[in-house]
A and B are shown apart, each in its own frame.
Chain A
Amino acid sequence: MRALYFEDVYKKFGRTYALQGATFEIPRKVVAGLLGPNGAGKTTSIKIATGLLKCNRGKVEVLGLDPWNNGVEARMKIGVLHEKPAYPPNVRVSKLLLHLAKLRGRNLREVKRVATITGLEKYLEAKIRALSRGYLQRLGLAQALLGDPEMLLLDEPTANLDPLARMEILNLIKNLRKELDVTIIISSHILLELQKVCDYAVFIGVGRILDYGSMRDLAGRYGVEAILKIYSVKPRRLASILVREEYVEAIEIHDSYLIVRTQSGYWKNIEDKAFELGAENVELTTANLEDMYKAVVSRYAF
């Protein structure tokens, strides 16, 4: 079953189309990036998927459910972090989370669980207005995690945060991916950050879907370079073997790791080879999303 499916979706605000014939799908258990510039229609897509907005035309399915007509069942399975969430300022963190947990049939234990995951334990008794931006984002994540959702929709999760806070949130998302068996959809215009976490992408521009697919497929489609970071105790030895492979384009040697550049279609080959040769860890920095985005945009010039 698809996690998210849009078929020929139109959404109009006044005379302006926020989405025009948007069609895409996102499979389950991936971390998908919804990528596009400001005003592309990312937030509108997330709100339609949440059932907050009704599309003028088209079909939307969230985990097999219509989010507008079967909103309660659909929202029971998803968690959403909105772009600029507005919280009641004079309410305590625990009170808000507890109420939202109760809407999902959960109790205080669930609140403590999500507070632990997001690092909010010390702030449960604080009033929401006393939280910094970073902790407000953690609160947003915490409320999205309530009830063990099958899918997380995160709209600009690092927006308006300082670099340290952004790193913390991104690490949180990475950990979520490891610890929870969820589909994560992140909407952002900051490609560099998404590059670190996504393995699926939907490119959107001016209300239209430009392309979508797994990172590997997209990279292959657009011939974009992949970058791997290979950790090894003997990086020079590893480099001397890998450099002989025809699909390796460049290698940078560092003290404890290598940076290997290759055509994205071959990154798996390099990964397998590296482990064969005793590498400790391989991180795929995926295809360079920025390059991919430029390639997509230039193909569908608008």
Chain B
Amino acid sequence: MLREFGLFVIISLLFASLTLFHLPFLTPHQTTCAYGFSIVKGDWGLSEAILLRRNLNVEISADIKMTAYNVPQVDQAILFVIPEKEYLRKEKIIYNLEREEVLKLLKKISIRAEPARRTAPQSLEVVIQDLALEESLILIAYLEGDFSSTAGVSQNITPAPPPSVPPPPPLYFNACFNIKAKVKIGGEQLARVIDVAVIGLALFVLGDLRSEDSWLRRLKRYSSVVKPSKPKRK
């Protein structure tokens, strides 16, 4: 039975390897949405939008697309990608800084920063491609605009809420992040494939040689029958 177990391991490993090496071509996407501002000061604000956690010890890259809805009053938006640990160290300071200082700090600690483009009067879009996820990251949206008025903010809510419901706040940030993760199999996984292959092969060979009905011995017999013997020298 040891032989059969070895074969089970080898077969499972073979199909696992064949499929896993196609992982980079598989990019299922997930969508997470964030709401609200963390800081609003006059004509600028910050939204600590999304936490991107890296759960596996594999090479991961991600394509991120942020779509912000209902933001007609925003003139400029930048999406910063900042390592979480780095951000946590600076988080409390940020609340006390002015706009220029905040921008300077964010640019310093971020690993990527992409400006948004307006795709429609009411929405903005940012695309970041091939973001390497080596650690957990926070996506922070920096927004500038005239946040004092509600001009352009759509009040048409369907169905119309009853009069007793207060109107939506003038300042409301709503963005959804579509994330496509690409997992790449790297050296560590390859090393494990080899380890498991060796174990499977060892089980197979050990089990087969112990068996009196050995496939390897039969193969050896067949190959010696098929191989013509060399003529003897006189």
Least CB separation from A91: chain B residue: B213
A170 to chain B, nearest CB (A): 33
B218 to chain A: closest residue by CB: A125
The distance in angstroms between the C-alpha atoms of A94 and B217, with both chains bound, is 14
> Within 8 Å of chain B (Cβ to Cβ): is A98?
yes
Q: How far is the CA of A94 from the CA of B211 in the complex (A)?
A: 13
Q: Which of B89-110 contact A (CB under 8 A)?
A: none
A108 is an interface residue with CB less than 8 A from chain B: yes
Distance, CA A92 to CA B212, complexed state (A): 13
Interface string of A92-132 (1 = CB under 8 A from B): 10110010000000011000000000000000000000000
* Total number of B residues with any Cβ neighbor in A under 8 Å: 2
Q: How many residues of A contact B (CB 8 A)?
A: 6
Shortest C-beta distance, B226 to chain A (Å), equals: 15
B213 and A107: CB pair below 8 A? no
- How many whole Å from B210's CB to the nearest CB in chain A? 13
From A108, which residue of chain B is reached at the shortest CB distance? B212
- A64 to B: closest C-beta gap in Å: 33
User: Closest CB-CB distance, B147 to chain A, in whole Å?
Assistant: 80
Residues of chain B within 8 A (CB-CB) of A95 are: 213
Contacts of A107 in B (CB 8 A): 212
CB distance from B72 to the nearest CB of A (A): 76
User: How many Å lie between the Cα of A182 and that of B176 in the bound state?
Assistant: 88
Closest chain-A Cβ to B223's Cβ sits at a distance in Å of: 15
How many Å lie between the Cα of A253 and that of B151 in the bound state? 137
CB distance from B222 to the nearest CB of A (A): 11
Interface string of A63-98 (1 = CB under 8 A from B): 000000000000000000000000000001011001
CA distance A264 to B212 in the complex (A): 53
| Complex contacts, B213 vs chain A, CB 8 Å | 92, 94-95, 98
Give the docked Cα–Cα distance between A98 and B213 (Å). 9
Q: Closest CB of chain B to A140's CB: distance in Å?
A: 21
Residue of A nearest to B213 (CB): A95
Kindly list chain B residues whose C-beta atoms are within 8 Å of the C-beta of A108.
212
Q: A107 to B211, alpha carbons, bound, how many Å?
A: 11
The docked-state distance in angstroms from the alpha carbon of A214 to that of B212 is 45
Chain B neighbourhood of A92, CB < 8 A: 213
| Chain B residue contacts of A94, Cβ below 8 A | 213
**How distant is A155 from chain B, measured CB to nearest CB, in Å?**
29
User: Separation in Å of the B77 CB from the closest CB of chain A?
Assistant: 71
A92 to B215, CA, bound (A): 13
Which residue of chain B is the closest to A98 with respect to CB atoms?
A: B212
Query: Chain B residues near A98 (CB, 8 Å)?
Result: 212-213
Q: How far is the CB of A128 from chain B (nearest CB, A)?
A: 14
User: Could you tell me the distance between the alpha carbons of A94 and B221 in the complex, rounded to whole angstroms?
Assistant: 16
* Least CB distance, B217 to chain A, in whole angstroms: 12
Q: Which residues does B use to contact A, with CB under 8 Å?
A: 212-213
Q: List 7 A-B contacts (CB under 8 A).
A: A92-B213, A94-B213, A95-B213, A98-B212, A98-B213, A107-B212, A108-B212
